[in-house]
Structure 1
Amino acid sequence: MRSAASFKLGLSHSADTDSAWKVEAVKQVEYHVIAARNLFSPENTQLLDGCSAAPLTRGDRRLVVIDSNVDRIHGDRIRGYFEHHGVAASFVSMRADETVKEWSSVIRVVDAMNGFGIDRRREPVIAIGGGVLLDVVGFAASVYRRGTPYIRIPTTLIGLVDAGVGVKTGVNYGMGKNRLGTYAPAIATYVDRAFLRTLDDRHLSNGLAEILKMALIKSIDLFELLETYGQRLIDDNFQGTSAELDTAATQVIAESIHLMLEELQPNLWESCLERCVDYGHTFSPTLEMEALPALLHGEAVSIDMALTSALGFLRGSLSSDDLDRILTVMKRLGLPVWNDVLSTAGVLDAALADTVRHRDGRQRLPLPVGIGGHHFANDVTNEEIASALSLLARKNTGLPNGEVSVTKVAS
């Protein structure tokens, strides 16, 4: 990925008739993604000194916004950590899922920041939770006093590899997925697999969808790791209970993060709208909102990837064997390739039309080229989508235990 933007600095003044000024400036951005192990063990000091841009010392105070489910499971341990290190932490425990990913949740965080009397330069808010919580807190921090620093500690797999590593924040508005949002990087994200110990299989699969996305468009090696170890990593909750599984878990997460950052870094502000990381995100925002709350984000992305893989096959960029291989891996990872929302009249046409508006009047639709490659299409027709949908429906019924995939999502 190369950015389409060119950067200039300066101030120019024209006084031919009335005066006019032109200001050109660039803001330097730096943020850190740091691998951690057992971040909240009392002897672990990474949160204190692991990032020079966000030091934490005895006597400091912090506002901590935590997902209520995470608080129920890990809250005592996390509070004990701050007490052990002499940090006065004030906790806000809040529900965070797609049904409450809305403006009112942002206001609740803003109210907490205001009540805390936060120092906008020296007291970064700490967000602990899944992708929804990170998005909500990031958005609130970005608008409070026009920008307050924050730190992300993701507790789900999708948070570790996706929501926690980019710069976008946002909440849903109406039927629009992430329709309100900002570009606001956290100072630091601490990636700790220990939180995955208590995550259920469905949410592990949810995160694996975003990892699979990066594999399908950028890395056959990562795909083969998922093909070989995916189910075993789910069974092991990514905890590395053997040397082999520890190596596999580390490689899968690290490679996924690296591939994502490799694409994001030159194009953080999306000046170039041809983004391969949008694979699986052409139809999925509409599908997810239409099916809410039946589909998790990664499940909607998986269905989108299955559909566009079928489209790639029909267009000749993906072989029949590769298509079957992709769909089989999705099934092994516990991901759906179908949901009844696909049968809703006009839903895919409407999804593509909304995406075209989002992508400045063109489809810019990432499609797989084999496994590990991609190209962009701008001429996909509604008839092609219907043909791909028909093919996917036939493939779904032919997959081993294919119906379980649908039932799981519907539940």
Structure 2
Amino acid sequence: MRSGTVFTQGLRQGLGDDPFWTVEAVRQVRYHVVSSNGLFEPGNSALLTGCPDAPMSAGDRRLIVIDQNVDALYGGKVRAYFTANGIDATVIPLRADESVKQWDAVSQVVDAMNDFGIDRRREPVLAVGGGVLTDIVGFAASLYRRGTPYIRIPTTLIGLVDAGVGVKTGVNYERGKNRLGTYAPATATFLDRSFLRSLSLRHISNGLAEILKMALIRSEDLFALLESRGVAVRADRLQGTTEELAGAADAIIAESIHLMLEELQPNLWESALERCVDYGHTFSPTLEMHALPELLHGEAVVIDMALTTALATLRGFVTENQADRVFHVMRRLGLPVWNEVLEDPTLLQEALRDTVRHRDGQQRLPLPIGIGRHRFVNDVTPAELSDATRLLRDRAPADPSLVPEQVGA
């Protein structure tokens, strides 16, 4: 019998001699996160040999689904890389943004996989794009023949530090954020910061929101680094154009990914519903879908964090000075602290009710304790939400020290 499998046979009490069986099995999960800048440079072999579970060599085939915007910027380089290494690559550009993150996009990827005639054992699909693209491809791959391997190559900061390192896939359904989805780890995720140089500062800020999330609930040191170096690193698009900026960018990305994986690894299938990485994701799914296309994902998350920081301040978990530091860093990173959707108290209450349904009947709402720690609460009331909204609105006016090319850039 294989290790990790339990198989028993017995007689069901009260049902005479009718037999029954119980099957228990454990499936090992292993995936790799590989950092390699200049992934598609001709001499870079990371994609060929960097993942021991999905090597590539001359004569192999690969289906590559690429965000159409990324294709316009890097498509020629991507195709040239595979040609130079003797890989027969079929490249499928796909529109991938939150407004089209629906079943139709999944169907397009499934059609491409079917037309390609993919060998599900040894021809992993490559997903090249932001978090929306990798979510769509991952979901399609998890469904095709009940599970086809795939590889993620995120091209946005939010993809590098958040969407690219977990195991969840999903697409939206009606107004439900990621309402359809699976747990399907990619065989590997390749992280290449050089893609970030072509992003707008708004999309850099979008990713910094998820990094700030990990700082506020897990690491005061990471918060201090964002506080002191975040503006410069943002302006540099995490490219490390000087030795000091390279060191700061390396530290920010590595620490945020390490903290994220440290939280995810023991609870990949979310059997434990108290997850500190849900910070910023209590109200934001409803706010984001309600405000589409105005808010990016990270912007909705940071508004959620601003609101819950205000809530934690009212409860005495966070001092006013700490809250001021948090709001200041949010603004300095080019992130919104306020949006008019917060003016609708029924929307916030609806968001909390939806989260309670998602968390098995309890709020399990992570709140910051100071900076870098957290606790879970289950007793947030509509009156508290109204008070927190008023407190946040009082602190929401634009910060004159906000860096140029801010939220709308």
Equivalent position of 1:90 in the other structure: 90
* Amino acid in the other structure paired with 2:161: V
Task: Tell me the alpha carbon deviations over residues 266-325 of structure 1, each in whole angstroms, 9 at most, x when there is no partner.
Answer: 000000000000000000000000000000000000000000000000011100000000
- In structure 2, C-alpha distance between the alignment counterparts of 1:296 and 1:169, rounded to whole Å: 18
Give the letter aligned to residue 304 of structure 1: D
Range with greater deviation from structure 2 (20-29 or 170-179): 20-29
Alignment of 1:331 with 2:334, yes or no, is: no
Q: Distance in 2 between matches of 1:173 and 1:19?
A: 42
Q: Which residue of 1 aligns with 2:219?
A: 219
The structural deviation recorded for 1:235 is: 1.0
Q: Which residue of 1 aligns with 2:40?
A: 40
Q: C-alpha displacement at 1:84, in angstroms?
A: 0.6
Cross-structure match for 2:279: 279
Tell me the CA shift for residue 401 of structure 1. Answer: 6.8
Kindly indicate whether residue 9 of structure 2 is the aligned counterpart of residue 13 of structure 1: yes
**In the alignment, is the contact (CA less than 8 A) between 2:65 and 2:128 conserved in 1?**
yes
In 2, Cα distance between equivalents of 1:136 and 1:113: 13
Number of the residue aligned with 1:167: 167
Give the match for residue 245 of structure 2: 245
Q: How does 1:7-406 map to 2 (within 5 A)?
A: 9-16=5-12, 17=16, 18-397=18-397, 399-400=399-400
What is the deviation of 1:399?
3.9
- The amino acid that maps onto 2:237 is N
Distance 1:83 1:157 in 2: 28
SS at match of 2:397: helix
Q: Secondary structure at the match of 1:55?
A: coil
Q: State the 1:398 CA deviation.
A: 6.8
Note the C-alpha offset of 1:32.
0.3
Cα pair distance change 1:255/1:408, threshold 3 Å: closer
Deviation at 1:341, TM superposition (A): 1.1
**Distance in 2 between the 1:225 and 1:68 partners?**
34
Deviations 1:17-51 (A, max 9, x none): 22221111111000000111100000000000011
Q: Tell me, in whole angstroms, the C-alpha distance in 1 between the residues paired with 2:127 and 2:139.
A: 11
Structure 2 distance, partners of 1:321, 1:345, is: 27
Matches of 1:398 and 1:87 in 2, distance apart?
51
How far apart, in 1, do the equivalents of 2:310 and 2:30 lie?
39
Name the SS of the counterpart of 2:395 in structure 1: helix
Shift, 1:14, TM fit: 2.1
Secondary structure at the residue paired with 1:233?
helix
Instruction: Give the partner amino acid of 2:206.
Output: N
Alignment partners' CA distance in 2, 1:124 and 1:276: 32
CA distance in 2, matches of 1:300, 1:336: 8
- TM value normalised by structure 2: 0.96
Task: State the Cα distance separating 1:343 from its structure 2 match.
Answer: 1.2
Shift of 1:344: 2.4
SS in 1 for 2:90: strand
Could you state the TM-score of these two structures normalised by the residue count of structure 1? 0.96
Aligned length: 402
One-letter amino acid matched to 2:9: H
Contact map agreement 2:102 2:173 (CA 8 A) in 1: yes
Matches of 1:399 and 1:193 in 2, distance apart? 29
RMSD across aligned positions (CA): 1.5
Local SS of the residue matching 2:190? strand
Whether contact under 8 Å (2:335, 2:407) holds in the other structure is: no
Structure 1 runs of 4+ with >4 Å offset: none
Deviation, 1:192, is 0.5
Q: Give, as a single letter, the amino acid of the residue that structure 2 aligns with 1:11.
A: F
Q: Distance in 2 between matches of 1:276 and 1:198?
A: 32
Residues 344-353 or 392-401, more deviating = 392-401
Quick one: distance in 1 between partners of 2:30 and 2:263? 16
Aligned 8 A contact 2:125 2:149 in 1 = yes
Give the fraction of aligned pairs with identical amino acids, expressed as a percent.
64
Alignment-mate amino acid for residue 68 of structure 2: S
**Residue 3 of structure 1: aligned partner:** none
Q: Which AA in structure 2 matches 1:85?
A: N
**Distance across 1 between alignment mates of 2:84 and 2:407:** 42
Partner Cα separation in structure 1 for residue 6 and residue 304 of structure 2: 44
Counterpart contact for 2:332–2:401, Cα < 8 Å: no
Q: Deviations over 1:209-258 (max 9, x none)?
A: 00000000000110011111111111111110000000111110010000
